[in-house]
Structures are given as structure tokens and as C-alpha cells.
Structure 1
Amino acid sequence: MFQIIGIVVLFGMVFGGFTLAGGSFDIIIKALPFELMMIMGAAIGAFLISNAFSTVTKTGADFAKLISGPKWGKQDYMDLLTLLFQLTKTMKTKGVIALESHIENPHDSSIFSAYPKIMKDHFAIDFICDTLRMMTMNLEDPHQVEDAMEKQIEKHHHEAATPAHALQSMADALPALGIVAAVLGIIKTMGAIDSPPTVLGAKIGSALVGTFLGVFLAYGLVGPFAARLNEIYEEEGAFYKIIQAVLVAHLHGNAAQISVEIGRGSVPSSFQPSFAELEEASSNAPTI
């Protein structure tokens, strides 16, 4: 919602100020289709050249995140903490072997299936199950496990954030592409150098529209889009940091209640459940 408001404010202030200053839209309107074709066409072409097909498709899919925001809400963080409480409590009371059937077939597990939204995130489920599987193989050094989990999170974040990096590269290129369009406009103007001053002025104005569009699109739209996407990826990445925090805390010998409380501290503030809310959810969690 704020992104839509931001776009309205951006266009309103820029073009409203131009109008109030006595500017005329005639030259801009006439030049706009051709300048957009050159600048955005070149930007899209460069985008396709510099990125893998998977990055291109993911960028298109992730555009919805600009409006919807991160996919995890307060209830999702509560569900994750409750799930981790069940897992760590079972490991404390019955040992890791008691979870073997659940981590080998999480889609058939009564524990995991109680949280369908988390189940849809393949990385989250694999991250939990793979870490627990390492524990069943007697890898119980908290520092080794934490290091292994950190590397997985870094890899996932790097791959997830490729659309933001690709859009930022496009934003960096747009001012230069605007100059390319402007130079072409100047070449066109020089071809009509014997025209009257009014005609030459209009042609130069059309050429400068290219420079304006390149800078405007870069710093007003594409750059902020990239920054917003990167912010969303960072916030979504906190979900996996919670998994790491809880399981590492468990390996340090903490009780299940303490482990999930440590994980609660990693929840983004706007979605963080209170101590009482987490305690109530944990106490109501079904036993295995």
C-alpha cells in the first residue's frame, strides 16, 4: 500500500512541480513513446543479457512482493516457534531417534503437517530436517552445526536475492541509457541544423527527455524497487535464522522452553509474539 502511495507522490511532486513552474507537456508527450522504447528497450535487453533465465522469471514473480510484502506474518512466526518447541522437547525427552520417521518423511508427519504454510516452504522444511538428520549421525557440536547452518542460510539468501541485485544493476544502467537516447536525439537535431530556432528548440527538448527519463526511472522507480525487494528478502531470511537459533540453543543443552525463547528474540519486532503468547502456544502444542 505504501508503495502505491509512494508512486503517486513521486509522479505528483515531479510533474506537478513541472506544471506549476510553467512547463509544457507537449514536447514530453510527443517524445515519450520513442524515448521509452529506446531506454526501457535497451534496459530490458541488457537485463536479459546479464541474467540467467531463472533470475529473469524469479524477478517477474517477485514483483508481487513489492505490494504484498514479506510472506511471513505474526502467526507464521508463532507456528514456527511452536513447531520447534515440539521438536526440541521431543529430542529432550525421547531422543533424536524418536523424530527419525518425521524427518525422513515430513510430508507424512503429524508434526509438520499441522503447519501447512511452513510445509510449503521447501527450504525451511529441508533446513530443519537436514539439521536434525545430522544430529542423528552424532554431529552434536553446537559450533559445527551453527557454522553448517549459517552457510546454508547464506547460500539461500544469495540465491533468493538475485532479483534485487539484477534490478539494482538495471537502475545503475538507466541514466547512461538515457544519455544514449539523448545523444541520438542530438544527432537527429544536428541533421536539421538549418531549421528555425523554434524547431531546433523542440528537437533539443525531445532529446533531453531521454536524459530525464533515464535518471527518473533509475532513482525514482527501479532503484527503490530493488531496495524494497532486498528489504523483503532480509526480513524473510529472519525466519530461517530462528530455526538456527533454536536448534543451536538446544545443542547447548537448554530446555525446550529456553531454546524457543532464544529463537523468539530473532523474530522481527513487528511480528514478535510476547513471552506469554509463546508460552500459551507451547503449552497447547500437542505432544508427540
Structure 2
Amino acid sequence: MLIIIGSLIVFASTLGGFMIAGGNPVVLLHVSEFVVILGVALGVLIIASPGHIMKEIIHKVMGALKGGGASKSDYEDILKLLYEIFMVGRRNGLIALEEHVMSPNDSAIFQRYPNFTADHERMQFLINGLKPIIDGKIKPDQLEELMFGELEARGEEKDHPVHLLQLVGDSLPGIGIVAAVLGIINTMSAIADGPEVVGERVAAALTGTLLGIFVAYGFVNPLANRVKLNNGSEMQVLNCILAAVAAFAKGLAPLTAVEIARRTLDSSVQPDGDELEETLKSLPSPK
């Protein structure tokens, strides 16, 4: 929602300032310039992007428009889920985690947190972290390294759409110049038609330059930055899970492991420590 509001402000400010200065918005409506700039920008994106990343760009942009990022209540659910899982392992033995980890859709614990289970990436990352604990085939320090490696790979993958959006944003001013040059060429061929025609075509050419810069710095680059921030929020969720699972694997108490994870969070989404502890202690005992 904020992206839409910001975009409206950018558009209204630019057009409003132009009109206050005595400009007529109609002179900015040159379809040929829109076709050149937006068409070339789309072509650049298609050339630079594999098919699966194109889909991811659409997904990320839609997520940015919706807001994206985990809320404070989401983190509370994540920390409660981790605590319940760890308590099962502490009281009933690590082998007791197997039924929850191997069949999370049938797990009574996971079913209590539908928002978490609906996110495939978060679920998969947690499951991948818990499986080695059950197997007992690697040491706690090795588990942390293993999960950190997966975290880095996911982070790099998430940055691909950002880089491509930034590529398009950085290319748009140059594309605007291309559109302007085409407009000047068109103008030079119409000099014999008189100053009125020449003036109209020069205005169209300058509109191409304006459009390229306006779309780049008013929309595409800010959108790329929002997607990057949303990626950071998603990575923070995974890092929170990593911190908790790694701490539990090292033998720390469930409450301590969850507290370590809580402290990795930004202050804007970090649950209060005392309130969270009271909430965790009031959860039903694992069976």
C-alpha cells in the first residue's frame, strides 16, 4: 500500500509542478516515446533474465506491493513453535522429533502455526536444520556451518531479482537518450514542414529523455530497493531459525535457545523478552 501511495506522490508532484509552471500535460503524451522506452526496458529485462528469475521478479514485485516482511506476531509464532519443538526433544529425546520433522503436515505442533507452515521456504529451512539433529551424524558446530551455508545460498538467490531490477533502472536513462535521438532524427527529416511541426517533434524527443529518467529514479530503482529490504526481512526469519536450532543443537535449554534467536531480531519486530518468556511457559507441555 505504501508503494502505491509513494508512486502517486511522485507522479502527482511531477505533473503538478509542470502544470503550475504553465505546462500542458497533453504535450507529454507521445505514444511513440512510451513504446520505445518501455518496450526496450522490457526487452532488456527479458534478455538479462532466465525464465525462472522472471517469474521470481513478478513474485517479488507483487510481494512488495502487498507490503511483505514478517510482523511481530509472526515472530512470536515462530519462537513459540521453536520452543515447543525443542521441548519435545529435551523431554522425550531427540528421536521423538522424528514424527514431527518427517511428517510436519501431520504434526500437532506444526498445525498450531498455520502461517508458518504455509511458507514453504521457512518450513523447509527449519526441517533441514532439525533432520541432522535427529540423525546425529554431524557435530553441533558442523550443523551451524551447514545451515549458514544454506542461508548464504538462499540470500544470493534472493538478490537476483534485485540486481536485474537495478539493471533496468540504470539502463532507463540511456534508453531515454536513445528515444530522444530517434526523435531528433525524426525532427531533422521534418524541417521543411515548418517550425510548428519541428517544435512538436523536438518536444516529443525531449519527452523520451524525461520519461527514461523519471521511470528509473521515480519507480524502478525505489522498487528494487523495496524488494531488497523485503529480502532482508525474509533472511532475518531464516537467521532467527538458524540461531535457535544451532543453540539447541549445542545443548542449550529450549528457553535459552529461543532467547538467543529473539535477540537476533530488529527492534521493530522483536517481541518483549519477559512477555515472551511468560507466554512460552504457559504453553501446554509436550506429549
Deviations along 1:217-257, whole A, 9 cap, x unmatched? 00100111111111011112111111111111123332111
Quote how far apart the aligned CAs of 1:84 are: 0.8
Aligned partner letter, 2:11: F
TM-score w.r.t. structure 1 length? 0.93
Cα distance in 2, alignment partners of residues 254 and 61 from structure 1? 38
- Cα distance in 1, alignment partners of residues 70 and 259 from structure 2: 19
**Deviations 1:118-141 (CA, angstroms, capped at 9, x unpaired):** 111222222222222112232453
2:143 equivalent to 1:130:
no
Instruction: Say whether the 8 Å CA contact 1:153–1:240 is kept in structure 2.
Output: yes
Aligned-pair CA distance for 1:23: 2.4
Q: Which moved more, 1:77-86 or 1:165-174?
A: 165-174
Task: Compute the displacement of 1:27 (Å).
Answer: 2.4
Aligned equivalents of 1:26, 1:156: Cα separation in 2: 47
Shift of 1:71: 4.4
Q: TM-score, normalised by structure 2?
A: 0.93
Unmatched 5+ stretches in structure 1: none
Question: In the TM superposition, what is the alpha-carbon distance from 1:113 to its structure 2 partner?
Answer: 1.6
1:126, 1:60 → 2: CA distance?
A: 22
The separation in 2 between residues aligned to 1:41 and 1:284, in whole angstroms, is 58
Does the CA-based 8 Å contact 1:235-1:268 persist in structure 2? no
Distance in 2 between residues matched to 1:91 and 1:13, nearest whole Å: 58
Equivalent position amino acid for 1:223 in 2: N
Structure 2: distance between partners of 1:54 and 1:268: 31
8 Å contact 2:2–2:67 — kept in the other structure? no
Aligned to 1:281: 279
Partner of 1:40: 38
Superposition RMSD in Å: 1.7
Q: 2:55 and 2:267 mapped to 1: Cα distance?
A: 32
Aligned partner (choices 161, 169, 181) of residue 163 of structure 1: 161
Match of 1:253 among 248, 251, 254: 251
Deviates more, 1:164-173 or 1:15-24: 15-24
Q: Take 2:145 and 2:284, find their aligned partners in 1: how far apart are those partners?
A: 31
Contact 1:85 1:257 in 2 (8 A): yes
Distance 2:150 2:120 in 1: 13
- Please list every run of 5 or more consecutive structure 2 residues that lacks an aligned counterpart in the other structure: none
What is aligned with 1:271? 269
In the alignment, structure 1 residue 218 sits paired with structure 2 residue 216:
yes
Structure 1 contact 139–145 (Cα < 8 Å) conserved? no
